[in-house]
Structure 1
Amino acid sequence: MVVAMDQRSNVNGDSKDERFDPSAQPPFKIGDIRAAIPKHCWVKSPLRSMSYVARDIFSVVALAVAAVYFDSWFFWPLYWAAQGTLFWAIFVLGHDCGHGSFSDIPLLNTAVGHILHSFILVPYHGWRISHRTHHQNHGHVENDESWVPLPEKLYKNLSHSTRMLRYTVPLPMLAYPLYLWYRSPGKEGSHYNPYSSLFAPSERKLIATSTTCWSIVLATLVYLSFLVGPVTVLKVYGVPYIIFVMWLDAVTYLHHHGHDDKLPWYRGKISRSTLFIRSNND
């Protein structure tokens, strides 16, 4: 059992030390959190969401056209930084589609999510389902999907190459594509394989659809490499993609590890509501 000291304030505003039992139920319910959120925050506007999509796609296309037109080594670094950040923005919109916060129309969420995530070489349903698993088990060392501290035994059994990729700066900043292929150390399966242990049998068609969309985009990039040259594709798409991956890994790492070290990690059986509260607090 993990027990940590937590600094809390009493009703008079005085700070005091209290024993924090991570296995205890939270002193509030999920309904209490929902009730505290203003009603207008629950309204999903497909028109507004699509306006963000249109804005970001227009910006991506305009930047790419400008980069090819100017074709200047003074302009390329500026383009890579800006375009890589826009790729990250595209990912965030697809992320919201996966959560269902983009709109209340499942078909619209799926269609837009596939278009956006496939463009940046992310298998939409594969990532969406594993991300759901992450949110359901966040803070649980054994059941969480990613971004958890490795048990000592597992760490000692890692190969040299895995340790280097995971812990040698700046290589962890480029870990996301490897995670999509191989998942995290100690876990098996792939986000592209319909028969991966990540997915239920009923989800296999969804995974196959997303992998097909991903393959079409990859094949298009290969075709463009023969059509206009691999260097051009690398400059216009490849480098911004790397910048996007760095944004994704950096933001995700800071989001999950840049918090109070008194927050506990769980093992074994633990109340799902406790994990849900922890996940939404993070």
Structure 2
Amino acid sequence: VPAGMVLNDVVKTLPKEVFEVDDFKAWKTVAITVSALVTGYAALAVAPWYLYPFIYAFLGTAATGLFVIGHDCGHNSFSKSQLVNDIVGNAVMTPLVFPFEPWRIKHNTHHAHTNKLIMDTAWQPFRPHQFDNADRIGQAMMRATMGPLWWMASIGHWLFWHFDLNKFRPQEHAKVKTSIAACYAFGFLVLLPLLVTQGPVGFVKWWLLPWLGFHFWMSTFTLVHHTAPHIPFKQNREWNAVGAQLAGTVHCEYPAWIDFLCHDISVHIPHHLSTKIPSYNLRAGHASLLQNWDCHLNKAVFGVPLMTTILTQCNLFDAEKKQWVGFDNRA
């Protein structure tokens, strides 16, 4: 980006309408997601086994819609009421066993330090020295995480960041405990009876596989949103907000049905310019960016070529050379 440019230079070019919270549109996203989940589970109940892969692809994507609604709540862009945002956020994320308040706090840290080494809590790249100093098991895990098992990376992130009170300030503990307790209650009141009455197979069929489908998209979106061979992570002294949020974020085109069920979470650049833009206004925000800042936007199309590039060229980030390298093609 041009020298001297600041984030507000971009934000002030966005139409005021994209920041408007509309209760009808917000609850429409809830209706879409609930309807999709009901439809998916109804199909799962009656469909023959050979249709299961398609149904689980649909259900996992629909479940991701729950998270995106919670995402709006976490940024107070779902409702003008803080109480509504807190209640809805917990309600939609608890079935994913994803504590809303811990996620909200750490996610806001991600926005404040996007693609900043050490500080970004969405994810941190593996570094060459970490890979070189790891034993065979550690190296194998790194290769898997930034290779064929990338889609499970968010499970590790979920476990690491969201259940440990020591990662939060004392004044945050009350709400953090409430969200964690809600997840434990869901496990005790819903998942445990499901396991007891339906057995392990029923547990996998009705909850685990849709949950893994959600994590496929959680991992994929997180990776694709801020990763490309030309997008670096930066040290604190080198980092600036507009460079990270505008030029360090990727707009990726997905099939229309995925964008519909996931409420346009992939239209991500406007969201990183201002978290106050509701999901249903992201496309209008992106259209404005195309008019005014097109030459600064990173664009991609989801598919095998994109994921192959990321998973072969963006394995380790060399902070000294300020570039991504592959596991096996380092100079």
TM-score interval, normalised by the smaller of the two chains? 0.7 to 0.9
Distance 1:280 1:131, change over 3 A: farther
Contact kept, 8 Å, 1:194 with 1:205, in 2: the verdict is no
Deviation at 1:71, TM superposition (A): 4.5
Letter in 1 for 2:241: L
Map of 1:179 onto structure 2 = 157
Question: Is 1:216 matched with 2:194?
Answer: no
Within a 5 Å distance, the mapping from 1:1-282 to structure 2 comes to: 26-68=3-45, 70-168=46-144, 169-182=147-160, 190-196=161-167, 199-219=168-188, 220-258=190-228, 261=230, 263-270=231-238, 274-275=240-241, 277-281=243-247, 282=249
Contact kept, 8 Å, 1:165 with 1:171, in 2: the verdict is no
Deviation at 1:43, TM superposition (A): 0.4
Letter in 2 for 1:191: H
Deviation at 1:238, TM superposition (A): 1.2
> Any idea what SS the aligned residue of 2:226 has?
helix
**d(CA) in 2 for partners of 1:112, 1:84:** 20
**d(CA) in 2 for partners of 1:238, 1:75:** 17
Letter in 1 for 2:244: R
**d(CA) in 1 for partners of 2:56, 2:50:** 11
**d(CA) in 1 for partners of 2:169, 2:126:** 26
Distance 1:239 1:137, change over 3 A: same
**d(CA) in 1 for partners of 2:169, 2:76:** 20
**d(CA) in 2 for partners of 1:158, 1:135:** 30
Deviation at 1:140, TM superposition (A): 1.3
1:118-170: CA deviations, max 9, x gaps? 11121111111111111111121122224333333333344544433332232
What is the CA RMSD across the aligned residues, in angstroms? 2.2
How many residues end up aligned between the 2 structures? Answer: 245
Distance 1:87 1:268, change over 3 A: same
Letter in 1 for 2:155: P
Segments of structure 1 that go 5 or more residues without pairing to the other structure are 1-19, 183-189
> Any idea what SS the aligned residue of 2:80 has?
coil
Distance 1:279 1:161, change over 3 A: farther
**TM-score by structure 2 length?**
0.68
Q: Which is further off, 202-211 or 143-152?
A: 143-152
**d(CA) in 1 for partners of 2:64, 2:159:** 19
Contact kept, 8 Å, 1:126 with 1:210, in 2: the verdict is yes
Contact kept, 8 Å, 1:118 with 1:214, in 2: the verdict is yes
Distance 1:93 1:161, change over 3 A: farther
> Any idea what SS the aligned residue of 1:175 has?
helix
Deviation at 1:67, TM superposition (A): 1.4
Distance 1:207 1:72, change over 3 A: same
Contact kept, 8 Å, 1:102 with 1:109, in 2: the verdict is yes
Distance 1:80 1:50, change over 3 A: same
Give aligned-pair identity as a percent: 25
Letter in 2 for 1:252: T
Distance 1:92 1:163, change over 3 A: farther
**d(CA) in 1 for partners of 2:72, 2:139:** 32
Structure (1 or 2) with the larger CA radius of gyration: 1
> Any idea what SS the aligned residue of 2:163 has?
coil
**TM-score by structure 1 length?**
0.79
